[in-house]
Every structure is written in structure tokens, then in C-alpha cells.
Structure 1
Amino acid sequence: MSTGFTPPPPEHRQLPGRRLAGVGAAWLALVVGALLVVRWGEDWYAPVASAGFPPSLGAPEVADVNQRPFALEDGAPRLRDAQQARLQTYGWVDRDAGVIHLPVERAMEQVLSAEEGARP
């Protein structure tokens, strides 16, 4: 044999029954204790009275929001008309600073005429 070799300890032929029984009993006690705590919490935090039904139950609403029929919705067309009117007219953006808005066609003409003079 070599001098640095240590043989492994002998193997036990039987499982340590007492140790396994102790671990099993501790685990069972832990589970039972957790269940008792949960049951106590259910009783402690239980509501005193039932909430009942909401007063709006059965009203003709979708997701508790009053909705208008789509045929009556006219917000998007009105917004689009207002935006088109702003793009086609003159007006003040900031009167104190002297900033105005002009029609898109007029603004493009001014930009193109300024670029014509700047070309070499």
C-alpha cells in the first residue's frame, strides 16, 4: 500500500431509522403548524359582513364605463378639421414673441425661394 492512502470508512448496512423518523416528525410538525397558522389567519382576517351587490349591477354599461355608440362619436373628425384649418390659414402662435403660423404651401414656397438664392 502507499503511505498517503486512507481507506474509506465502512458503510452502514442499515439506514439510520431514528434519525429519519426524527426528520419526518419535525417535517410533519412544521406542516401542521403552518396549516394552523393559515387557518387562524383566515378566521382573523375574515370580513365582518358580506360586501353585497354593487348598485349599478344590471345597468346597460360595458366595463363600468358609459360609452357612446360609435356612430355618434365625432371627436376625431372635428380634430382633423381643426388641424386642417390650422394648416391652411394664418394665425398667431405667440403674439408677444411675434411668432406666426402660415399655410403650408406658402411656407414651402418661402423655403424653396430661400434655397434658390443659396445654391452655388
Structure 2
Amino acid sequence: MIEALGLEIAAIRKKGGGTRADLRGGERVGESEGQWLYRFVVAEDLNLQDDTPVRVTAGQEDVAGVLVSFRDGVLLVALEKDLGPRIAAARLVANDSFLVERLKEHLEK
């Protein structure tokens, strides 16, 4: 089982590692525990899970974060860096293998 999960993780990483989405019109909506919360309205139907690790690239900035929620076309992310009050355009990459990685780690214990 653990070996199969390792193969699945490798396959996800080989195909690019995650869901990608172009974001527009981001707005900082708060700050909590050293993370900045940004809200984006997304027209696409993305298959994203809460607590998924993400990377957001806006201009020259590439920032790690976590997907807080994605409901009814509203994406909320918590980023490790303040990118200002508004983000005109950004690229989000979600780590699609994180759930499989967590399961593998749990089974290895």
C-alpha cells in the first residue's frame, strides 16, 4: 500500500504537480497569525480541497500559502507574505499530491 502511494505521488509530480489557475481581481481581506488572507472570484470550476498547500505568483513574487476555502466561485487563500491590498493578476498552483503524501506518512508511522 505504501509503495503504491509513493508511485501515485511520483505520478502526480511528473504531470506537473498540481492544479493551476489564473486568478484576477484579488483583494486582501484580513491577516491572521502571520498570514494574509486574499479573496478571488473564480469563474472556473476547480477541484480544490480546503487546506491544500498552494503557491501564488503575482508579478515577481512567488509566495507559499494554503487554500482556506473554495465555495460558490470564491477562492480564499492564506499567504505567507503580504502582497498588498489588491492583486490584479496571479497564478495559483495547488499541490495535488498533499493528501496522498499525508496518507502515506500516516501509514508509515
Q: Normalising by the residue count of structure 1, what TM-score does the alignment of the two structures yield?
A: 0.17
Q: Normalising by the residue count of structure 2, what TM-score does the alignment of the two structures yield?
A: 0.18
In our comparison, the structure showing a higher alpha carbon Rg is 1
**Larger relative contact order (Cα-Cα within 8 Å, sequence gap ≥ 6):** 2
Task: Decide which structure has greater strand share.
Answer: 2
Task: Decide which structure has greater helix share.
Answer: 1
